[in-house]
Amino acid sequence: MAFVPTTRSEVEAWLLRFHASNDSLDVNKLPNIYAKNAEVQFGNMPILVGHDALRNFFSAIWPKLETMHHAIESYDMIEDRIYSPCRITWAIKDDPEKEIVSVPAFAAIHLVTSGEEKGLIRRAAFYMDGAPLAAALQRSS
């Protein structure tokens, strides 16, 4: 069940749950962390709106990954917003170089604060240099 964190330890627990859902590489877990009409932007890419858009986006990438892991570097919460730099590490299926790709990333996450979707993401922006991942994915195609 989603919740709006109010203490530092709750923010960490929320982030760990969020990252575990993503790191599972299971698109069926997206509704556990995103509101139905969540707006999500990755860098300068177009904004994705809703579960179907998110499912389509991740369904194109996640099956190509062997593993994904987010390591929290720090975090802060102001009102309904969580800010957190992290490091994302991937292993790519069928990568002939067997490279482990790792990049720093930053998340700005806005939570729903009331109603049935309380504690889910209503809006998020994620920033990272996706070129190393794209290169590894290209090699494995």
Q: Where are the domains of the chain?
A: 8-140
Mean of the pLDDT values across residues 110-129?
96
How confident is the prediction for the chain on average, in pLDDT?
Answer: 95
Written as one string, the DSSP assignment of 51-94 is: HHHHHHHHHTTGGGEEEEEEEE---EEETTEEEEEEEEEEEETT
Q: Are the C-beta atoms of 52 and 65 separated by less than 8 Å?
A: no
Mean of the pLDDT values across residues 99-120?
96
Q: Which percentage of the chain shows pLDDT scores above 70?
A: 99
Model confidence over 36-82: pLDDT tens digits? 999 999 999 999 999 999 999 999 999 999 999 999 999 999 999 99
C-alpha 127/C-alpha 111 separation (Å) is: 18
Query: What's the CATH number of domain 8-140, 3.90.1570.10, 3.30.365.10, 3.10.450.50, 3.40.50.300?
Result: 3.10.450.50
